[in-house]
Structure 1
């Protein structure tokens, strides 16, 4: 049997050490059956097969985003955009959204960043002025704080007498009154009263907007860290034949016992939708200073952040999960949080050596812990774009300790496997932006300068691409079929408008995506291809 699709006349980087670059691929039944020269590949095309002239474009293994929140992303496309340069501009968006929403219904959105706004947290009073008749809840860009108005506070029953929940904080003014800012677990005081969208609603948002956007960005797979609503929507889309994006779906700690009761294991499912690791939280985020630190912040020396889940709870849950065949993916940003999770994984390593446990974000490490990540076989699930987004915040809050933040090169040199993602919708769903950040340690406008932020941590283009391909495939337990372009593997391919291995690294975000293939089938194809 011949090939049902042939790609030829390309600059194809395979990430296969035995055959690093070819000009053509032949595909049959969704898998690569040949990688090599044009003439041989074209000669393999079946009578009804398609020959695709790549026109000299660059092709790489299908890009994967190893950490995002897919239902949150889909829903964010239908809510208030609060990611604006100033609070006044965000408030204009709130007012416009409220004007077309019936009084009494929720106005929700996300994206605000107080660090961009000068460092001062916003207040309920600001929202009260533009949406007094609607309860309003806006998630911070970090995902670790919400900004609500007075009506939302009243509906949630939050008053001066309300105690802070474990692992969270109700921010208060000098008189003890809630200001409208809720941190970490306190966010749930409001989240739990907001009517949830249905599985069908989220599935529609995914299929109509989120998945096409992912494909246009060159993505063939995502590791989804959202909860049951997201999983239900993805299953619905698969049943309907509308899930064209591979998904590794995490399990929330809150439903671990239910997952254990029905015998779920990491890897259960198929090549399109499969169970990943158990998602847990050790701390918050750097921006609102809720990351759990060994020592206080430079801007608040007496404050060491928030351990959002009791460490004994995490230790017991990780043991239960690994024992049952479920890997763990624990969010840890501060150096204390990262150390505590490494300690947990070290205790599990000898008993469950085959478990692929992850640390999500792994943002700030004490130098004593650099080598432990690779030595313990822990996967560093990191987001390069966070390094350039947070570099000035890191310098301000951490001082000299910022040298231990986002240490991609150090971790690779010490043998760690890195799986790269975006944390979308915290950041943009664009792996080329992530590759650029990893390679240059600079923002798109060139900041902080030609050498980049802590330039000793810059990666090569190949190392960065591996994080979004082979590293992500390894974290999913799918490196035997994804992550490189070689015979026998699934034909997931991202076709770029420019050769990112050859151009100025500052141009990588603008390389463009000409086509995205999942299982040998185009799910996005530019008119120029």
Structure 2
């Protein structure tokens, strides 16, 4: 991967928004090695430059700390680059046609994989059936991830290879959807059920995964991203360690452990924060519920459109609390997926017990950076609890504009007053870390900032004020969430996340000052260049 390397570099004629309250705005930045050496007025910073320093004129561009995406499925993103894209399939028939096209060139017996189908966008929003895929690819096992990654659509051959029949019971925390005859329909909901088929899919070879990860890294740099927080299994974590050891890991990666690996981590004495500036251990990722798109998010009251459905509790209270207590006592923080209001309440209840236990043991609040991923719907009684418990809200603004119509339809406007309630969370004192949930949504912080600030789609829907405008963030708050918010969640706020002397030289240069432009113009902003460790990893030809 090409990089432009400098010993020391002076960036001048820029608008430097530091995210450092002691010096919010500067004109110039001096980079020496992989560190920020000085920031401030041009002549003052120039005096600090060592002999031989090169100078780059930024032509009035905006300089920010490089972005952190606090929720990325990195390996899934990389592998999705070679699967059938279904995000823009506007009907079941269109999705099936793409599978049929793939089957014509794929050798019989090989798996056909795809990602991104969203039945909520189809004229008929009911779940599809295995028979649709059977006709398109009778000689290939087929597995297609839904957009929200909480449902898997498979054909009969895939079910047969996995040994799934009418007699197969639903695994705890998952569902094998049955048709009117009681046979598996081809839809598997939530990881415990989806893994029945996924474990049959051959893993790609290490060389192929490395190539795809490099391409995913280049795409992240092109969006100004130099750090990601990722939940990965042991195999992926091992691969990331190999890349790091070889000097080929091009992002700063905070790796969350899986529920399946946490016992081994505890026995080995692994703790959150172990690692260095490039690869660190995060918390243990557990699932309280499913997702809105699959109607498996766990609700206090039923879905408006499905009066018998309150979603799925992927992990019940006793197991959830026991696992989080064991992890905390071993120095591992909690990372809880929770979307529905009941799942968020249960997550907060468990974390309340954990915080009480930590207080008895004399553990400082900021030692373990517990977090809830998504926090998409809260009951009013639970809103203040995140700040009170010092629990980070790891949220993804692009879900707001993707989900708002679906949320209104299935949850109703009353509950939606505290759906994706970023403004209320910020005002309550909760810490926000912003991300994308890539590949569910695009890895694009500028799109996330626009969504957080306007709560409107790029076409302007639903109007000038946006959806539930009381939940909008300011540009400064949204940028903080994609910089300092992510750094704090990783325990690295002293090393990155703002532009200050001594911090790591990770910067993004933008074509215009998004703090001063019309919010709609944020989407027109270009990433001019991205710096990682003082090196230009993207956009050298534009500087």
TM-score above 0.5: yes
Task: Choose from 211, 230, 239 the match for 1:224.
Answer: 230
Matches within 5 A, 1:122-201: 122-184=128-190, 185-201=192-208
CA distance in 2, matches of 1:425, 1:147: 17
Aligned to 1:369: 382
SS state at 1:442 partner: coil
Matches within 5 A, 1:375-414: 375-399=388-412, 400-414=414-428
RMSD: 1.4
CA distance in 2, matches of 1:226, 1:199: 15
Alignment check: 8 A CA contact 2:529 2:542 kept:
no
The Cα shift of 1:3 comes to 7.1
Aligned to 2:500: 486
Aligned to 1:318: 324
CA distance in 1, matches of 2:418, 2:293: 16
TM-score by length of 2: 0.95
Aligned to 2:3: none
Is 2:72 the partner of 1:58?
A: no
The Cα shift of 1:188 comes to 1.1
Alignment check: 8 A CA contact 1:70 1:230 kept:
no
The Cα shift of 1:491 comes to 1.1
Matches within 5 A, 1:112-511: 112-118=117-123, 119-184=125-190, 185-207=192-214, 209-352=215-358, 353=365, 354-399=367-412, 400-511=414-525
The Cα shift of 1:526 comes to 5.2
CA distance in 1, matches of 2:12, 2:101: 50
Alignment check: 8 A CA contact 1:202 1:230 kept:
no
The Cα shift of 1:51 comes to 1.3
Deviations 1:320-360 (A, max 9, x none): 11111110101011111101110111111133233210001
The Cα shift of 1:13 comes to 0.5
The Cα shift of 1:105 comes to 0.6
CA distance in 2, matches of 1:320, 1:336: 23
CA distance in 1, matches of 2:46, 2:245: 35
Aligned to 2:92: 87
Unaligned runs of 5+ in 1: none
Alignment check: 8 A CA contact 1:203 1:236 kept:
no
Task: Choose from 61, 67, 72 the match for 2:76.
Answer: 72
The Cα shift of 1:527 comes to 2.7
Inter-CA distance 310–198: structure 2 relative to 1 (3 Å threshold):
farther
Q: Report the count of equivalent residues.
A: 527
Unaligned runs of 5+ in 2: 1-5, 359-364
Alignment check: 8 A CA contact 2:321 2:353 kept:
no
CA distance in 1, matches of 2:540, 2:454: 28
Aligned to 1:39: 43
Q: Which moved more, 1:223-232 or 1:390-399?
A: 223-232
SS state at 2:423 partner: helix
SS state at 1:350 partner: helix
CA distance in 2, matches of 1:521, 1:313: 46
CA distance in 2, matches of 1:98, 1:263: 47
SS state at 1:46 partner: coil
